[in-house]
Structure 1
């Protein structure tokens, strides 16, 4: 069994190939059952969780087991270290059942998340999208912005509430060599010129929640929600055309979801219906299908 560390994952991947791997995965018949997090009792009445995200090739539909894999993402989140969940991905041979690879789940997560959101943006944002506004901070943002640049010809990236370290990493991206990268503290004004908005982790002390409560993107804007806990305005959720990764388990109930990634990639449902329509993408918690596809791609590339 090979152990594939973060450096090896970065060395063998590039945005275009990862985007196409996920596009193919959503069009495939890969089986990805949902599982519930397993509670782990800790001292002082605290509880951690162990989450499993299994997936495997549809061997029955395929008619043989000579190709394909069985995989499972394992994520451990303990209350003593909030926000620092550790994860691994275990990949088995579909023919013999032997484990073939153990991958760094954190790095797999960064590549999968960025590709998922960028793939959605390729279907949902306007083709002439060039001005990106990022609100908040997240260590995956440099990877995500690089993937955005693969699906849209960006000319400007404005960062609001993003840490100095993240800003420096984004500014140094090869994919943004000819792109203006700046920062702003005036989110409301920056919104007026944005073609696409990414909502990342928000700083409760910096007034970002107030700005988000009044979030009113211009007509035709695509809103990509990286932070699933972001409190989105009810009016925006009612007016925008909503999309998620898997309609079998949408992230919010009581809303009218237009389509998921399977329907978008297969062309069975439309994305943006007209130029001035606002679209919003909020993924669900299930990542088994995308993780399985990307882990197999990495295994074959290393």
Structure 2
């Protein structure tokens, strides 16, 4: 069994290739049972273990184990870590143990970019990223791979981290950190949130006509990145129905506040990519994409990594 490092994962998943692999897998589908959530009480607070299996009907088999420790920020460590085990489908033999943290970050950003490719306006050029964790720079790169992004703003609870992230991209974009989140939202064509917040950060009355709101955090019912108004006059899409209704805190809390219903969800990503449902209805429409992560995405990314490395090996030995 091959051990695949984070560096090998990054090298194997350029954005365009990964986004296309995800699009193909959403169109064709895989078997993906609901993921398992296990709350773990730690001395410094609650953590979560996630187990996410998926398999092709006649192909690869995979499972990811992820540990989510929100309290890691205090120790200067990533909040999310994990591993991915990929097996072949004929006999179930393990092929690779893949760094799950890098895999997760890249497939998450790629799924957001894939949704933006379908839902965001084609001329969307300004991006606001809310959050400064390990996923934030990947969201900048992934969105820029599908839309003509020239202006990037970064907001985070820690202004120093926001400034550091903005400085990393200053040579590629008009990129600055901001402290007034409401003002930044009003100016953005795409707003991408990747936080572990339990309080609304984005308010619906600040979204401009034609904006696209990408919600990556809030993977538990107790979490939220938006207020309910973000859903009232928007066209809402999700990565999967099961994930959205079972886990998406933004949607579940909007439903509890009688501002939204399950039936208000326009389509999931598979329906959009199969052309079973149209995307945004007009240039002025506000679109929302809520993702909580799907094991389909992990399996697609793991297959892309494995097949890329096999091609590299074959090229090196020829």
Fold-level similarity (TM above 0.5): yes
Q: Tell me the residue number matched to 1:299.
A: 306
SS of structure 1 residue aligned to 2:297: helix
Q: Tell me the residue number matched to 1:126.
A: 121
The equivalences for 1:155-174 within 5 A come to 155-161=150-156, 163-165=159-161, 167-169=163-165, 171-173=167-169
Which structure shows the bigger proportion of residues in helix conformation? 2
Q: Tell me the residue number matched to 1:182.
A: 176
SS of structure 2 residue aligned to 1:123: helix
Structure 1's 186 and 263: CA in aligned 2 closer, same or farther, altered over 3 A?
Answer: same
Counterpart contact for 1:139–1:166, Cα < 8 Å: no
Question: Could you tell me how far 1:47 is from its partner in structure 2?
Answer: 6.4
Q: What TM-score do the two structures reach when normalised by structure 2?
A: 0.81
Q: Tell me the residue number matched to 2:147.
A: 152
Q: Tell me the residue number matched to 1:34.
A: 34
Counterpart contact for 1:124–1:271, Cα < 8 Å: yes
Structure 1's 17 and 258: CA in aligned 2 closer, same or farther, altered over 3 A?
Answer: same
Counterpart contact for 1:15–1:115, Cα < 8 Å: yes
Is the counterpart of residue 212 in structure 1 residue 206 in structure 2?
Answer: no
Counterpart contact for 1:125–1:221, Cα < 8 Å: yes
Structure 1's 196 and 99: CA in aligned 2 closer, same or farther, altered over 3 A?
Answer: same
Q: What TM-score do the two structures reach when normalised by structure 1?
A: 0.85
Aligned residues: 286
Structure 1's 50 and 172: CA in aligned 2 closer, same or farther, altered over 3 A?
Answer: closer
Segments of structure 2 that go 5 or more residues without pairing to the other structure are 256-260, 310-318
Segments of structure 1 that go 5 or more residues without pairing to the other structure are 60-67
Superposed CA deviations along residues 249-269 of structure 1, whole A, max 9, x for unmatched, are: 322343211111101111111
Q: Tell me the residue number matched to 2:215.
A: 225
| 1:261 paired residue among 254, 269, 276 | 269
Counterpart contact for 1:142–1:170, Cα < 8 Å: no
Cα distance in 2, alignment partners of residues 267 and 14 from structure 1: 25
Superposed CA deviations along residues 65-103 of structure 1, whole A, max 9, x for unmatched, are: xxx211001123469868734311001111121100000
Structure 1's 177 and 81: CA in aligned 2 closer, same or farther, altered over 3 A?
Answer: closer
Structure 1's 43 and 195: CA in aligned 2 closer, same or farther, altered over 3 A?
Answer: closer
Is the counterpart of residue 10 in structure 1 residue 10 in structure 2?
Answer: yes
Counterpart contact for 1:215–1:233, Cα < 8 Å: no
